[in-house]
């Protein structure tokens, strides 16, 4: 398959270029409603307002010093604080962090959470570092981004390669330097519950996605899929988002999880996989800490897994996974994008032509930032909500977001991604117009 057939163009490999293109295309749909003031607002939204690059040393276990580069990008201050996860991965750079911060601005508008968008990351390979090395890296990175973060300035959360542990360390570091800050725990979300974390935050991204999918099925928006019971599911990525969506869809909705993969490859079983057992295998049996080898199943490449027979495909790994050559062969009826930016624009057009219903990332995975908002509210108020209360509120937010995007989609005859962008941009314009431009 040629490069052109796989990707359409070189730009497709660049998530930042893709999201800017999608943004520009969406703006065209509201062009006639845009005056001079709004035009300036659109220009403002096209780029970040602050990009911080930090370079810092970390002492490794063998007493050598390694230098790391970290980033914190704040995309929009429609509301403060800005909000966005922290990613630890070998391919983290300013470009990807900027794209993810842009994504956060749009996502917060779609789900109506009063935060601006931001994102952070460190270029490192957590799989090749010890826990103590990672802890030292987290503490030093937290210190280096102090000029940007704070409970009312910018609030990090987990993303690829980070979780509760890192959020706990960032909170502790912040508190050490701000001992009198009354709500210091609101400096991060996704912390352990005993440090002020919210019940339900860990699984919120997946649960929010499940609520959106449930709503789409209920309203018969997915051709050929009238019920989630016994629907077959393939999940790409078996970390936070991937594991929990597999668990929730199988245990709470009666779906059959037929395919799972991690960065090393995938497994498929038409009869269904026991999600908890696969996790136990990956964590405690597999030497490579992979799903590969589970129950002697034939290992699959990523392409084979993504194009395996299923009703629901859930990309929950990373950006730029569903490219043109894969989209052509996808058999799913619906794609639930829990990862950020998993589908290229070129592939998206192919999916539309094939009439595959796509629940776009800025809608489908916004449950994470929603419960992060709940966590921040609880910290500010000194409260701890019950899990049922968190999930009830999450459900309401996700269903409302789905309805709002669907309305745009139906009124303007747009597919869901474009509709979500149009909704987010129109909403952002209104917020800035109401605030006015400083000074
Ligand atoms: P994670 O680190 O917990 O898990 C990532 C998983 O993807 C791992 O299983 C890893 O092995 C796998 N993976 C990595 N590269 C892969 C590849 N090329 N092919 C297949 N699998 C691969 O990360 P996460 O928090 O679950 O995040 C996954 C995606 O969801 C990311 O795009 C992230 O931005 C997005 N997301 C996460 C949250 C959240 O709250 N954690 C919220 C919104 C969006």
The protein residue whose alpha carbon is closest to atom 30 in ligand 1 is 339
Residue-number span of the structural domain to which 137 is assigned: 49-186
336 and 251 part of one domain: yes
Domain boundary among 128, 156, 186: 186
Q: Quick count: other Cβ atoms within 10 Å of Cβ 411? A: 10
Contact 241, 269 (CB under 8 A): no
Q: Residue 292: inside a domain, yes or no?
A: yes
User: What is the mean pLDDT of each successive set of 10 residues along the chain, which is 439 residues long?
Assistant: 74 91 93 77 94 98 98 96 98 98 98 98 97 98 97 97 98 96 95 98 97 98 97 97 98 98 96 98 96 97 97 97 95 98 96 97 98 98 97 98 98 97 95 90
- For residue 360, give the CATH number of its domain: 3.40.50.720
129 and 208 part of one domain: no
Q: Residue 96: inside a domain, yes or no?
A: yes
178 and 298 part of one domain: no
Of 32, 81, 58, nearest to 379 (Cα)? 81
151 and 239 part of one domain: no
96 and 180 part of one domain: yes
Q: Residue 283: inside a domain, yes or no?
A: yes
Q: Residue 401: inside a domain, yes or no?
A: no
Q: Quick count: other Cβ atoms within 10 Å of Cβ 79? A: 17
299 and 180 part of one domain: no
* CA pair distance 239, 162, nearest whole angstrom: 10
Of 248, 237, 155, nearest to 203 (Cα)? 248
Domain boundary among 364, 382, 400: 364
Taking the centre of ligand 1 as the mean of its atom positions, its distance from the CA of residue 161, in whole angstroms, is 8
Across the beta sheet with 232-236, what order do the strands follow?
265-268, 256-262, 232-236, 312-315, 334-336, 357-359
pTM above 0.85, yes or no: yes
Res 113: pLDDT: 98
Pairing assessment for the beta strands 312-315 and 334-336 based on DSSP bridges: parallel
Instruction: Name every protein residue with a CB atom under 6 angstroms from any ligand 1 atom.
Output: 158-161, 205, 236-242, 261-263, 302, 316-318, 338-340, 365, 368
The protein residue whose alpha carbon is closest to atom 14 in ligand 1 is 263
Q: Residue 38: inside a domain, yes or no?
A: no
Active site residue 180: no
Buried b / exposed e along 345-368 (16+ C-beta atoms within 10 A): bbbbebbbeeebbbbbbbbbbbbb
153 and 216 part of one domain: no
* CA pair distance 426, 33, nearest whole angstrom: 9
222 and 262 part of one domain: yes
Atom of ligand 1 nearest to the CA of 369: 42
The protein residue whose alpha carbon is closest to atom 42 in ligand 1 is 368
* CA pair distance 61, 133, nearest whole angstrom: 7
Taking the centre of ligand 1 as the mean of its atom positions, its distance from the CA of residue 351, in whole angstroms, is 22
* CA pair distance 149, 186, nearest whole angstrom: 11
159 and 209 part of one domain: no
Res 190: pLDDT: 98
246 and 170 part of one domain: no
Contact 160, 87 (CB under 8 A): yes
Q: Considering its fold, how many domains does the chain have in total?
A: 2
223 and 306 part of one domain: yes
Q: Ligand 1 test: best mutation among 90, 97, 99, 159, most atoms within 8 Å of CB?
A: 159
């Amino acid at each position: 398959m040629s490069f052109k057939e796989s990707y359409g163009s070189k730009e497709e490999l660049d998530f930042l270029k893709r999201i800017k293109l999608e943004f520009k295309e969406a703006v065209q749909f509201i062009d006639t409603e845009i005056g001079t003031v709004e035009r300036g607002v659109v220009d403002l939204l096209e780029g970040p307002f602050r990009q911080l690059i930090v370079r810092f040393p970390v002492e490794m276990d063998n007493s050598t010093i390694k230098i790391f580069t970290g980033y914190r990008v704040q995309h929009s201050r429609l509301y403060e604080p800005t909000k966005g996860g922290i990613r630890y991965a070998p391919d983290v750079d300013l470009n990807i962090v900027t794209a993810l911060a842009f994504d956060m601005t749009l996502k917060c508008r779609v789900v109506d959470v009063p935060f601006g968008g931001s994102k952070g990351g460190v270029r490192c390979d957590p799989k090749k570092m010890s826990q103590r090395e990672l802890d030292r890296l987290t503490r030093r990175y937290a210190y280096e981004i102090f000029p940007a973060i704070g409970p009312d300035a910018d609030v990090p959360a987990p993303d690829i390669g980070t979780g509760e542990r890192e959020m706990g360390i960032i909170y502790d570091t912040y508190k050490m330097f701000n001992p009198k800050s009354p709500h210091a725990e609101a400096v991060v979300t996704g912390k352990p519950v005993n440090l002020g974390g919210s019940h339900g935050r860990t699984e919120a991204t997946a649960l929010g996605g499940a609520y959106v999918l449930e709503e789409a099925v209920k309203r018969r928006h997915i051709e050929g899929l009238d019920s989630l019971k016994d629907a077959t599911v393939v999940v790409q990525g078996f970390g936070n988002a991937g594991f929990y969506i597999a668990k929730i869809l199988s245990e709470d909705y009666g779906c059959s999880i037929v395919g799972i993969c991690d960065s090393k490859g995938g497994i498929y079983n038409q009869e269904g996989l026991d999600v908890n057992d696969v996790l136990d295998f990956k964590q405690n049996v597999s030497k490579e800490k992979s799903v590969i080898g589970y129950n002697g199943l034939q290992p699959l490449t990523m392409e084979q897994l993504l194009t395996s027979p299923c009703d629901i495909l859930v990309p929950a790994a990373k950006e730029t996974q569903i490219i043109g050559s894969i989209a052509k062969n996808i058999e799913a009826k619906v794609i639930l994008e829990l990862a950020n930016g998993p589908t290229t624009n070129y592939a998206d057009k192919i999916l539309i032509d094939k009439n595959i219903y796509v629940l776009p990332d800025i809608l489908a995975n916004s449950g994470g930032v929603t419960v992060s908002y709940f966590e921040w509210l609880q910290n500010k108020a000194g409260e701890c909500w019950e899990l049922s209360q968190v999930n009830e509120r999450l459900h309401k937010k996700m269903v409302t977001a789905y309805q709002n995007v669907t309305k745009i989609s139906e009124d303007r005859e747009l597919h869901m991604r474009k509709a979500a962008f149009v909704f987010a941009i129109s909403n952002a314009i209104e917020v800035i117009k109401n605030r006015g431009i400083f000074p």
